[in-house]
Amino acid sequence: MGTLLYGNPGIVITFDDRALLHLQIVISTKLRRRESFVFTWTDSVDEGSGRSAIWLDPTSTLYYRYFGSRTPSINREWIEALMLSANSAGGLIFIAEPEPSAPALAKTRR
C-alpha cells in the first residue's frame, strides 16, 4: 500500500503501489507541462466512503511513498484513461484499473 503526501502539514492519501505509480505518471506529466488541475478520488470505508479532492499545480509539494521494492508494470490503457480524465474540465478522477483489451480479432479467411 503506497501513499501520496500532499501539502503542509501533509495530507496522506493511500493507494496500492500499482495505482500510485500510474497516478504518479499522470500527475507528473501534467505538472511538468505546468498545468494545474483537480484530483478527485473515492475515500475508503475507513474514512467514511465519501469523496475527496485536492488542487494540484506546479508549485504543489508531493511525495510518493511506495511500500513494495519492485516497480509494478505499466498498463498503458490505464494511463490513457487517467490522462483523458486529467485533461477534462472535471480534472483527474481516480478510476480502477481497466481490464486489458482483448487482442484484435484475426481477420477472417478469404
pLDDT digits (tens, 9 = 90+) for 21-32: 999 999 999 999
pLDDT on residue 45: 82
pLDDT on residue 109: 43
Fill in the amino acid letter for 47. E
Cβ within 8 Å of residue 32, ≥6 positions away: none
Other CB atoms within 10 A of residue 33 CB: 8
pTM for the structure as a whole: 0.82
Domain extents in the chain: 2-93
Cα 3 from Cα 17, distance rounded (Å): 8
pLDDT on residue 100: 75
Low-confidence ranges of the chain (pLDDT < 50): 104-110
pLDDT on residue 103: 60
Q: In which order are the strands placed within the sheet that holds 2-6?
A: 11-15, 2-6, 62-65
pLDDT on residue 91: 96
> Cβ(62)–Cβ(6) under 8 Å?
yes
